[in-house]
């Protein structure tokens, strides 16, 4: 896989390593399509060196994924109920919804 980026000012199409973030005028291509790419007449195709094989995820990628999974799995503490000191009390209930009054 690689990323195709158009540089309109230079009339150049650049094929390089897969981008790590989204950028305007950049498109990710599979190997087959990147090998068959042609540019409009008068444009130049610049092919940057890309790895011969997919190195797979790095240790940093795997640690970031594990951290995200741990964060998502943490229980969310319930919101504190309004205290009597605040003067709020329940006036009506419909299913899981409540109407609070702050007399």
At 60-78, the pLDDT tens digits run 878 888 888 888 888 877 7
In a domain, 37, yes or no: yes
In a domain, 49, yes or no: yes
Statement: residue 34 has pLDDT above 70: yes
Please list, in sequence order, all residues whose beta carbon lies within 8 angstroms of the beta carbon of residue 98, skipping any fewer than 6 positions away.
Answer: 90, 92
Question: What's the DSSP call for residue 8?
Answer: G
Confidence of residue 51 (pLDDT cuts 50, 70, 90): low
Cα within 13 Å of Cα(67), Cβ side: 6
For the chain, how many structural domains are there in total? 1
Average pLDDT over residues 35-41: 86
In a domain, 14, yes or no: yes
Q: Can you name the residues that pair with 44 across neighbouring β-strands? A: 12
Please list, in sequence order, all residues whose beta carbon lies within 8 angstroms of the beta carbon of residue 43, skipping any fewer than 6 positions away.
Answer: 11, 12, 13
In a domain, 8, yes or no: yes
34: domain range?
2-53
């Amino acid at each position: 896989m690689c990323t195709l980026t158009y540089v309109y000012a230079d009339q150049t199409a650049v094929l390089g390593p897969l981008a790590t973030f989204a950028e305007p005028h950049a498109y990710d291509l599979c190997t087959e399509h990147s090998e068959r790419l042609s540019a409009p007449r008068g444009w130049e195709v610049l092919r940057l060196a890309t790895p011969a094989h997919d190195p797979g995820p790095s240790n940093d990628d795997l640690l970031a994924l594990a951290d995200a999974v741990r964060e998502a799995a943490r229980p969310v503490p319930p919101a504190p109920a309004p205290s009597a000191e605040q003067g709020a009390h329940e006036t009506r209930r419909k299913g899981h919804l409540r109407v609070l009054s702050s007399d």
